[in-house]
Structure 1
Amino acid sequence: MITRHSLAWLSAEGWQRAALAATADNQATLARWQQEDWPLVLRRREADTPPDELCLGLALPPDGNGDKVRIPLQVQLADVQRVAEPLTLRQALAHMPSGWSGPLRAFAGDCLHSGIALKLYGSWAWQILTKQSYVTANSDIDLLFTPRNAPEFARGMALLAQHAARLPLDGEVIFPDGRAVAWKECWQAMQADSQPRVLVKTESGVGLTALASLVASLEPA
């Protein structure tokens, strides 16, 4: 199943159609992406996207000012040759930037011991996938946490909060129906005395939802 953050590779015909629709400034980038067989990433659907098309995109390494150009694409579903889930944190450990090494190994070890599986997106993922320089001193570690039940959700959130003191951990919690919430916003809501609502991202938009209803959507323990 292809969902937001999934990796997607286009067929030759798909790349050709993407290049025809691209601006002149982006055509060389797309040609290199095709030549290197680098993936695109599924992004949130735009409002006018036909049912048989997908919204994909790629991000270039940051320039001298730290700005990162993102190229959005809209492609036919038939032009997607293969898809894959995002990289796992365990896969990424072999490609750790040196500045994160010790704290990140400790975090990954605690996740393994607690049965928490995390996936990776963002700058570090792009750097691993393309072998280009994306990670800077200001980069976050963007993670996807997909808990199966409420106890796993609680364990994973506690680990993220604990290790965020030493690592720039960012990212989202993905609930069973695909709704996503920034983990930091989830954590803040968990500390509140009231029943707060959180900003939820879906495949096609954003909205506010009570955190309790999201947790209730998880499988029984």
Structure 2
Amino acid sequence: MFARHDLVWLTHRGWDRVRAGAPQDALVHLDTWREAGWPAVVRRAEMDLAASEVAIGFAMPPRAVDGNKLRVACRVELSDVKRRTRALPLVGALDAVPVEWREGLARLEQEAAGAGLGLAVYGSVALEALTGQHYVRPESDIDLLLRPLSRAQLMTGLALLAAHAQALPLDGEVVFPDGRAVAWKELRAAFDSAAGTRVLAKALERVALVKPEELIATLEDVKWLN
């Protein structure tokens, strides 16, 4: 049901649970978040997370004094979530990035759409687009999610990201149909490495080193289902 980087909006009871477990210095920030109606972000689950719970988090804007972000990690009941969406589509975040990135990102989004690929964004760019607060800094990356449904889409998407990364600070993950995600740069490098190279795959419940072929097989499963 849930995936890392999903956006969730909480019920009143959900917010009460968040506040009850949050550190005191975070409460004023969380109250601002709640009043503004901004979403929380789904994060990787802890080992003891119950089947009836989902792990979520909040990242406040970087502090001017040191650039650090106050982060609040918590868990709520599934019934505390009143709405959920996948990560923000890239097209919805173009106005939130610095002017010098917009033309290149818009071109990437158009080329991806032309190839039947949808790109989503998470991290600082997504948070700035969602909240209007200042998250993106000169050293920020643009964290993208690529969700291919075939090997051809995967290879096209990786080629597009690599080409545009020459002019943009692109980072992010490829998300496979079973929910496991791999840093796109790591996956692309693995294709050029010796046979048997493994990549770090992150799922909602666990992290493991796997062979790229295992992940690509999930794309073949989708093809046969269609």
Q: TM-score, normalised by structure 2?
A: 0.93
Q: SS in structure 2 opposite 1:203?
A: coil
Offset, 1:31: 1.1
Aligned twin of 1:26:
26
Count of residue pairs brought into register by the alignment: 221
Aligned twin of 2:114:
113
Question: In 1, Cα distance between the equivalents of 2:94 and 2:149?
Answer: 24
Query: What pairs up with 1:51-200 in 2 under 5 angstroms?
Result: 51-64=51-64, 65-200=66-201
Report Cα offsets for 1:169-212 as digits up to 9, x if no partner. Answer: 11111111101100010010011242311011111121100001
**Does the 8 Å CA contact 1:195/1:212 hold for their aligned counterparts?**
no
Question: In 2, Cα distance between the equivalents of 1:201 and 1:136?
Answer: 26
Offset, 1:145: 0.7
Q: TM-score, normalised by structure 1?
A: 0.95
The code of the aligned residue for 2:53 comes to E
**Does the 8 Å CA contact 1:56/1:75 hold for their aligned counterparts?**
yes
Question: In 2, Cα distance between the equivalents of 1:129 and 1:205?
Answer: 28
Q: SS in structure 2 opposite 1:204?
A: coil
The code of the aligned residue for 2:223 comes to P
Question: In 1, Cα distance between the equivalents of 2:40 and 2:25?
Answer: 18
Offset, 1:3: 1.4
**Does the 8 Å CA contact 2:95/2:102 hold for their aligned counterparts?**
no
Q: SS in structure 2 opposite 1:143?
A: strand
Question: In 1, Cα distance between the equivalents of 2:61 and 2:31?
Answer: 16
Aligned twin of 2:212:
211
Report Cα offsets for 1:71-102 as digits up to 9, x if no partner. Answer: 10111111111111111112222433212022
The code of the aligned residue for 1:31 comes to D
Q: SS in structure 2 opposite 1:13?
A: helix
Question: In 1, Cα distance between the equivalents of 2:91 and 2:197?
Answer: 33
Does 91-100 or 113-122 show the bigger shift? 91-100
Q: SS in structure 2 opposite 1:68?
A: coil
Q: SS in structure 2 opposite 1:9?
A: strand
Aligned twin of 1:220:
223
Question: In 2, Cα distance between the equivalents of 1:109 and 1:176?
Answer: 23
Q: SS in structure 2 opposite 1:217?
A: helix
Question: In 2, Cα distance between the equivalents of 1:17 and 1:199?
Answer: 33
Does 74-83 or 99-108 show the bigger shift? 99-108
User: Any stretches of 5+ residues in structure 1 without a counterpart?
Assistant: none
Offset, 1:20: 1.5
**Does the 8 Å CA contact 2:109/2:119 hold for their aligned counterparts?**
no
Aligned twin of 1:6:
6
Question: In 2, Cα distance between the equivalents of 1:212 and 1:6?
Answer: 26
Question: In 2, Cα distance between the equivalents of 1:168 and 1:86?
Answer: 19
Question: In 2, Cα distance between the equivalents of 1:3 and 1:109?
Answer: 25
The code of the aligned residue for 1:58 comes to F
The code of the aligned residue for 1:120 comes to V
Aligned twin of 2:46:
46
